[in-house]
Structure 1
């Protein structure tokens, strides 16, 4: 399995070809959640090689991945901020 990009899948973020599983999804579970690659492969029903391909892509493009993280976090912050404000004044 290879890592690819498609504007119609995950907003163009790199993902495992033929899936909607992003490189960042894999990296988050292995790196940040401290799960083994084998566990993540089992949870996503992927070959172990696909998990390692995603991790290799992540580390080879670490600046891009961090930029995507910042962009994604900023979008979530905007949504949180807007959802906490009432649309109309409370009377």
Structure 2
């Protein structure tokens, strides 16, 4: 099991090989979601080793993870700003 990146999958975001499960998704579930790694592995239907490998990658690449989070937040904001807003007349 390894962490891989492919521009055609998840816009190149690091992910668990053979899945569309991003490293940040795993980290969010464990760190921010306060879920145990075994629970996350069960929920995502991946090996526990894959969860720990994703967490290891997350902690080994803090600058990359921060940049990806910033890019995601920026993209969300752009979509929010351009989304149709109800006419309140």
TM-score bucket (shorter structure): over 0.9
Aligned residue-pair number: 89
Long gaps (5+) in structure 2: none
Aligned-partner Cα distance in 1 for 2:27–2:88 = 43
Long gaps (5+) in structure 1: none
Runs ≥4 residues deviating over 3 A: none
What do residues 13-57 of structure 1 show as CA deviations (whole Å, max 9, x unaligned)?
100000000000100000011100000000000000000000000
Aligned CA RMSD, in angstroms, stands at 1.7
Q: Quick check: which has more Rg, 1 or 2?
A: 1
Partner of 2:29: 29
TM (norm. structure 1) is 0.91
TM (norm. structure 2) is 0.93
